[in-house]
Amino acid sequence: MVIEKGMSPYEAARERTVEENKRKMEALNLRHLSAAVSVAPKTPSPMKQKRRRLVHPAVVVPSPPRRSRRLANLPEVKYSEVAPDKSERMKRSPRKLIDSIYLATRGSVSMEARLEAANKAEELESQLDPVFPSFVKPMLHSHVVRGFWLGLPKHFCDTYLPKHDSIVTLVDEKDEEFDTNYLAYKNGLSGGWAGFALDHGILDGDATVFQLIKPTTFKVLIYRTLF
């Protein structure tokens, strides 16, 4: 190997390494083997032919509609014929009907009118038999128009009402009874209260007196807001 003049020590060492590798390849005959491999014809590897499964379409036999034994002898109802269209359902929307009745019968209630109704209800409560616990509940929009959730005073619920969910009966001034769902963990009335409020025309701003005459029965007195 001839090292040219002017080469750096690094270049000289690199040339020596290249020459040494060439000699090793010649000794092992690697150069000829690589050339033979590069020109050898490529033979395709045998592939297993996949067997295709013929799937026959299943014959679906329509089954009769499932109906309970109680309805088996009744004629089939076609709901497409009896269901009202969308515009009709919009007209019958209970929530919109309630809002329209409310707006037609009661505008915005002033704070003075609310306070007067609450004071009158408190006067009415003071005349009741103290043996039966009671409280005054002023009515808000969420109580009688939207939501129909009636929260009760927590201290009253903790002291007098059951610690578990139960049915609480509301008795009006005509001694008619209305069942409601009392939710103990939320201290309020849910299902059934809406029917009582709508049936008695309770509006936002009115004040009510609840008197517990039995463990789960309230006598409800209503004082209407005056304009």
189 in Cβ contact with 181 (< 8 Å): yes
155-179, pLDDT tens digit by residue? 999 999 999 999 999 999 999 999 9
Nearest one of 216, 189, 215 to 202, comparing CA atoms = 189
Classify residue 205 by burial, with Cβ atoms within 10 Å: 0-12, 13-18, 19+. Answer: buried
Q: Where are the beta strands (DSSP E) in 24-153?
A: 134-138, 150-151
The pTM for the full model equals 0.54
pLDDT, position 37 = 58
116-145 pLDDT, tens digit per residue, is 989 999 999 999 999 999 999 999 888 888
Whether the predicted pLDDT of 96 surpasses 60: no
Question: What whole-number percentage of the chain has pLDDT above 90?
Answer: 37
C-alpha–C-alpha distance, residues 169 and 184, integer Å? 15
**How much is the pLDDT for 167?**
95
Mean pLDDT of the chain: 76
Is residue 213 scored above 70 in pLDDT? yes
* Other beta carbons within 10 Å of 2: 5
Residues recorded for the chain: 227
User: Quick one: which of 158, 151, 183 has its CA closest to 168?
Assistant: 183
